[in-house]
């Protein structure tokens, strides 16, 4: 099988943490040819998409020995078995255009996650379809609405930009803080942009759970615990990672979301759960698979690649039958 991965520069990945690296390495060990390319390596025309890709050979070694990158090859991506879209947020114009280009491959090759699903699923806004399993939440650009909501939920909440990732721009919003209005102004760009505001969940001090799903089924979970001087638990801002189990509440959230995720072609997904409440749905480049693997010994990378093998074969068979 041939797998192409659209991702950020491979030279900068963390060998022991990066999920894209782990998936590519496992695909390689299972005998598949792996290609690496970026957004700007795509060329569309004549009803198909070409990739100026490089075959890559990976090793769990310190950079730069972790990736041996071959020469550029011009490849018809419709002939590739599977394409993984794994660039990090934010979801900007370039990302949008990439999903639209990859749409041309529908029915001819497997794209994970589905380009339509990626366009529909803002990682903050997608979650509000499931308000029954979320903390109390609003989305607004208006300071008055946000202030009223904060009063309603007891005077303290969390405000998040809709295009942030890795904890960037996430701030505690406390009515007693003299910077309360300034924080709202900064987050909403003085009323010009939407922000998400959620009630503050004290359970975040025990950790923010990342649940990895494959085709609606749990692969495992990790717990990201914030530093004592931080409200955010993201690994990027110093959160530590601990093993954890899935609770009945967690499994109920998975069951609630799974049918919609499958319908939207969002096959490899990370749910963020705090105290049994869904806070975000990560679909662009969910992380945590290496930590799940270390804590559980369950080899989730193999499960992902073997699922891709099966699904890609189905797509190719359907294409041949048409």
Catalytic residue set: 124, 160, 210, 224, 232, 272, 280, 282
Q: List, in sequence order, every residue forming a beta bridge with 222; answer none if it has no partner.
A: 210, 243
Q: Which residue is listed with tokens 């991702």?
A: 7
Q: Quick check: 72 and 82 in contact, CB under 8 A?
A: no
**Rounded Cα–Cα distance for residues 229 and 227 (Å):** 5
**Rounded Cα–Cα distance for residues 231 and 200 (Å):** 10
Provide the H-helix boundaries in the chain.
Answer: 19-29, 93-102, 115-120, 143-152, 180-188, 248-263, 289-296, 300-321
Looking at 17-78, which runs of residues are DSSP E strands? 33-37, 42-45, 48-58, 67-76
**Rounded Cα–Cα distance for residues 279 and 167 (Å):** 12
Q: Which residue is listed with tokens 């598949």?
A: 32
Q: Which residue is listed with tokens 């705090």?
A: 274
* Per-residue exposure over 241-269, b if at least 16 CB sit within 10 Å of its own CB, e if not: beebeeeeebeebbeebbebbeebbbbbb
């Amino acid at each position: 099988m041939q797998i192409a991965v659209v991702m950020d520069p491979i030279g900068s990945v963390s060998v022991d943490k990066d999920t894209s690296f782990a998936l590519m390495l496992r695909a390689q060990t299972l005998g598949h040819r792996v290609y690496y390319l970026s957004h700007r390596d795509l060329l569309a025309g004549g009803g198909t998409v070409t990739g100026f890709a490089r075959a890559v050979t990976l090793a769990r070694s310190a950079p730069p020995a972790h990736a041996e990158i071959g020469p550029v090859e011009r490849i018809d991506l419709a002939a590739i078995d599977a394409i993984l879209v794994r660039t990090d947020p934010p979801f900007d114009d370039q990302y949008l255009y990439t999903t639209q280009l990859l749409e041309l491959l529908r029915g001819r090759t497997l794209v994970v996650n589905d380009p339509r699903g990626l366009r529909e699923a803002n990682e903050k806004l997608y979650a509000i379809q499931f308000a029954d399993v979320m903390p109390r939440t609003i989305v607004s650009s208006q300071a008055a609405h946000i202030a009223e909501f904060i009063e309603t939920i007891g005077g303290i909440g969390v405000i998040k930009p809709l295009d942030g990732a890795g904890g960037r721009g996430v701030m505690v919003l406390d009515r007693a803080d003299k910077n309360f209005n300034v924080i709202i102004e900064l987050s909403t760009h003085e009323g010009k942009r939407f922000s998400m505001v959620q009630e503050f969940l004290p359970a975040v001090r025990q950790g923010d759970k990342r649940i990895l799903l494959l085709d609606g089924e749990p692969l495992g979970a990790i717990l990201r615990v914030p530093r004592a001087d931080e409200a955010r638990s993201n690994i990027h801002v110093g959160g530590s990672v601990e093993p954890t189990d899935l609770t009945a509440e967690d499994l109920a959230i998975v069951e609630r979301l799974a049918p919609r995720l499958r319908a939207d072609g969002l096959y490899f997904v990370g749910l963020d759960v705090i105290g049994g409440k869904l806070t975000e749905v990560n679909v662009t480049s969910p992380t945590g698979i290496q930590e799940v693997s270390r804590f559980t010994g369950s080899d989730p990378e193999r499960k992902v690649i073997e699922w891709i093998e099966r699904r890609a074969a189905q797509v190719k068979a359907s294409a041949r039958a048409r």
